[in-house]
């Protein structure tokens, strides 16, 4: 029997239908978060330490996330802490969150009397999706899909993303299968350690889109919306209109426009030929299934 829903109150506001943005690295979650942060009544956080600590614990050791209501309470409490609107609260936010909210001083980015709904778009939130659904049964999820070759190109230029690919990341304590790194068994550990970085980027993307496909089949249609990054860039008005209908709120189109939006197809000029071949080989099935390459 399913336990009764927990009612979370933050800043004196009941958390109802929170929105969570799920995506592989460099797939546009930050752009979507910027739009949501500027939507009427929304308070959206990105990468707050309390949430990041829990998310990466679940990502690296999937068994933790499967420990029933204990894991649910931990993640719910972390989000409640992250959503608190207190003096100086925004000073604890990472720079992408502050920039998305237009915060230049001590903050906070909004006030409690202006908030009706909450959300989070922390990196790698995808790996906590099942726990989020347990914590917030009425949650809405928006997942973004982007060409894995573009993702690899951006990851290769991101020191924070590359930090996860150190050989020490696979230790004797690592759990398998490991969706976060895209490694299915301990037998593949040495092969992963010796793999060029572009291949490791492809494994992370491949694993992430497989998780996204699983969610597509498991979540009710009224709770999950899947968007393509390419549509976000090429047709922002139509994409935002669909997002607004899904969330039943007005998402501003202007938040998705700007010179800092990564272009589509950057892999063509930024990936070396050998890296392109490796990414295409590792992620061939998913690239074809999603229509980014022709099936072989």
* Largest distance between two CA atoms of the chain: 57
Whether 4 maps to a domain, the answer reads no
Whether 295 maps to a domain, the answer reads no
The answer to whether the Cα torsion of 187, 193, 198, 200 is positive or negative is positive
Q: What is the CA angle 15-20-21, rounded to 5?
A: 160
Cβ atoms 147, 267 nearer than 8 A: yes
Identify the pLDDT of residue 145. 97
Q: What b-and-e string marks burial along 92-125, b requiring 16 or more CB atoms within 10 Å of the CB? A: ebeebbbbbbebeeebbbbeeeebebbbbbbbbb
- In the sheet with 224-228, reading across from the earlier edge strand, the strands are 42-45, 117-120, 19-23, 140-145, 224-228
Whether 263 maps to a domain, the answer reads yes
Identify the pLDDT of residue 294. 86
- Provide the number of structural domains found in the chain: 1
How many residues belong to the chain?
Answer: 296
User: Within a 13 Å sphere around the CA of 89, how many CA atoms are in the beta-carbon half?
Assistant: 20
pTM of the model: 0.92
Identify the pLDDT of residue 1. 39
> Where in 49-170 does DSSP place strands (E)?
117-120, 140-145
Q: Could you say which DSSP state residue 222 is in?
A: G
Provide Rg for the chain, Cα atoms: 19
Whether 233 maps to a domain, the answer reads yes
Identify the pLDDT of residue 103. 66
Whether 2 maps to a domain, the answer reads no
Residues of the domain holding 191: 9-289
Cβ atoms 159, 86 nearer than 8 A: no
pLDDT tens column, 207-255? 999 999 999 888 988 999 999 999 988 898 899 999 999 999 999 877 6
Question: How crowded is residue 292: how many other Cβ atoms within 10 Å of its Cβ?
Answer: 18
Return d(Cα 92, Cα 94) in angstroms, integer: 7
**Residue ranges, the chain, pLDDT below 70:** 1-6, 66-68, 101-108, 255-260, 296
Whether 86 maps to a domain, the answer reads yes
Q: What is the CATH number of the domain that holds 71?
A: 3.40.50
Question: How crowded is residue 246: how many other Cβ atoms within 10 Å of its Cβ?
Answer: 18
Whether 123 maps to a domain, the answer reads yes
Whether 267 maps to a domain, the answer reads yes
């Amino acid at each position: 029997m399913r336990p009764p829903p927990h009612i979370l109150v933050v800043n004196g506001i009941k958390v109802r239908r929170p929105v969570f943005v799920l995506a592989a690295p460099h797939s546009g979650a930050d752009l979507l978060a910027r739009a949501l942060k500027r939507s009427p009544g929304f308070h959206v956080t990105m990468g707050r330490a309390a949430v990041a600590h829990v998310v990466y614990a679940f990502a690296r050791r999937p068994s933790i996330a499967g420990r029933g209501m204990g894991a649910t309470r931990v993640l719910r409490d972390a989000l409640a802490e992250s959503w608190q609107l207190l003096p100086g609260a925004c000073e604890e936010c990472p720079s992408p969150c502050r920039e998305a909210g237009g915060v230049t001083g001590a903050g906070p980015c909004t006030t409690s009397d202006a908030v009706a709904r909450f959300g989070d778009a922390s990196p790698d939130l995808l790996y906590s999706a099942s726990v989020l659904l347990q914590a917030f049964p009425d949650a809405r999820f928006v997942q973004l899909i982007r060409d894995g070759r573009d993702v690899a190109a951006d990851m290769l230029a991101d020191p924070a993303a590359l930090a996860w690919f150190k050989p020490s990341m696979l230790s004797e304590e690592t759990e398998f299968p490991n969706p976060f790194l895209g490694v299915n068994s301990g037998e593949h550990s040495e092969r992963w350690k010796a793999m060029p970085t572009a291949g490791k980027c492809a494994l992370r993307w491949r694993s992430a889109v497989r998780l996204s496909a699983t969610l597509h089949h498991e979540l009710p249609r009224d709770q999950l919306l899947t968007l393509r990054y390419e549509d976000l860039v090429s047709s922002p008005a139509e994409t935002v209109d669909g997002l607004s209908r899904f969330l039943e709120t007005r998402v501003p189109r202007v938040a998705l426009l700007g010179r800092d939006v990564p272009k589509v197809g950057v892999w063509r000029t930024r990936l070396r030929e050998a890296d392109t071949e490796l990414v295409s080989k590792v992620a061939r099935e998913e690239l074809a299934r999603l229509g980014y390459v022709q099936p072989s």
